[in-house]
Amino acid sequence: MQQNGLELQEGLLINVKIKPKFHQRYHVCGDVVDIDPAATLGEFAILQRQIRENLKKEGIYAKNKSLPKPFDYCRVAVIHPPNASGYHDFKKDADILQKLDLCNFMYFPSSFEGINTENEILSALNSALDYHHSNPLDAIIIIRGGGARQGLLNLIKESILRKICLSQVPIIVGLGHADDKLLLDEVANISLDTPSKVISHIRNTIQKNARDALFAFNEIGKVGAHILRNTEKQINNVFAFIASQSKLEINKKDKKIDAYKYTISSDSKMMLFRLQNKLLFIGQQLSNTKKIINNLEQKVLFNANQICALSKSTLLKIHHSLDIFYQDIKNLTEKATKNYTTTLTHLSELVESFNPESVLRRGFSLSVAACFHKHPGLISRAIFG
């Protein structure tokens, strides 16, 4: 089957032409005369059609294809078969971009042939998507160099295709067979023939963006210079307009200021004349006030002298009256003292005359004496009647 690039292996459906023969030991047997690969290729096409219909029913067939194409490439994950020639060609150019710090490449090796192909590719895709959560990727690349066409059949697995369709990161494939378009090429965001074309696409995109950026920078410089020139002209025009308007306004203000000066000068002269008249009037009032104050001072001085004279006269009269009053009190006191002395002497003599012995000699009894002793007031009334 060299004409179709296929190798006989387990699970491959073939249509063969056999020439039967009889063997003494193995009995009926036969020799393969020809092989028709159409049966295998037809089965392959049926498998792709079934998977395509399933993906379309689920509404995910064009999900990755419809994602925006990467604008630039700064961080890319690469799923590749280890030690493949296509991978080394890809990495040779990729290392130059990485060395120049233009794009970083993270590699996730996986087998593309054999019974573990499906699991290893799914594991590599999951690892790349997990990396994307912490370090956002611009794209995930799946590359495979040249080789037997049978190896491409290992990639047509519904689980792999579903993972690619559901990926939120654009998928780029370069499988190394320009004439063999697989379902993988249909659902991927970008499909290229070989790994070399994939790295060329990345390099060209970076160069194009750089050229566009440089061109845009130059254009920005030109536009900026043009805007700057226009702005300078506008500013100069504005300054000129402001200067002219300022002169007009200054002239208007000068005229108003002159008018204000004349008004202020005339008003000030009138106010000064009025103030001078008021000051003269106030001066006359002050002169009159001084005269009044002098008269008041003379009157106060005269009244004070009169008050002093009257006060001296009054004090003399009061002093004389006090002397007379003192003499009267003294005479009355001496007279009263003499009267009280005479009365006391008389009372002493009277008391002495009522001595019990003299009373008894006069014929009075003790009881009567006792009665008079208890009520001396009676004796007083008897004496002084």
How far is C-alpha 156 from the chain's CA centre?
56
Say yes or no to pLDDT of 74 above 60.
yes
Last residue of a domain, one of 158, 176, 193: 193
CA distance 300 to 293: 10
Average pLDDT for 34-49: 65
The answer as to whether 204 is a domain residue is no
The answer as to whether 31 is a domain residue is no
Say yes or no to pLDDT of 255 above 80.
yes
Domain containing 362 equals 354-384
Say yes or no to pLDDT of 180 above 70.
no
Last residue of a domain, one of 135, 170, 193: 193
What pLDDT shows up at residue 149? Answer: 61
What pLDDT shows up at residue 169? Answer: 96
Write the CATH number for 135: 3.40.50.2300
pLDDT band at 41 (very low <50, low <70, confident <90, very high): low
The answer as to whether 182 is a domain residue is yes
Query: Range with the lowest mean pLDDT among 67-76, 174-183, 200-209, 366-375?
Result: 366-375
Average pLDDT for 267-285: 85
CA-based end-to-end distance of the chain: 192
Most confident of 43-57, 155-169, 259-273, 358-372: 155-169
pLDDT band at 293 (very low <50, low <70, confident <90, very high): confident
The answer as to whether 71 is a domain residue is yes
The answer as to whether 377 is a domain residue is yes
What pLDDT shows up at residue 13? Answer: 54
The answer as to whether 155 is a domain residue is yes
Average pLDDT for 362-380: 53
CA distance 310 to 314: 6
Which has the higher per-residue pLDDT, 365 or 160?
Answer: 160
Last residue of a domain, one of 143, 160, 193: 193
What pLDDT shows up at residue 38? Answer: 47
CB atoms within 10 A of CB 125: 23
Average pLDDT for 277-290: 85
Q: What is the pLDDT of residues 232-243, one digit of tens each?
A: 888 988 888 898
What is the pLDDT of the chain when averaged over all its residues?
82
What pLDDT shows up at residue 55? Answer: 93
The closest alpha carbon to 113, from 174, 155, 83, 80, belongs to 155
What pLDDT shows up at residue 259? Answer: 84
The answer as to whether 128 is a domain residue is yes
Query: Range with the lowest mean pLDDT among 57-61, 101-105, 286-290?
Result: 286-290
Exposed e or buried b per residue across 172-209, where buried means at least 16 C-beta atoms within 10 angstroms of its C-beta:
bbbbbbeeeebbbbbbbbbbbbbbbbbbebbbebbeee
Q: How many domains does the chain have?
A: 2
Average pLDDT for 331-359: 79
The answer as to whether 174 is a domain residue is yes
pLDDT band at 247 (very low <50, low <70, confident <90, very high): confident
Say yes or no to pLDDT of 346 above 70.
yes
The model's pTM: 0.53
What pLDDT shows up at residue 364? Answer: 63
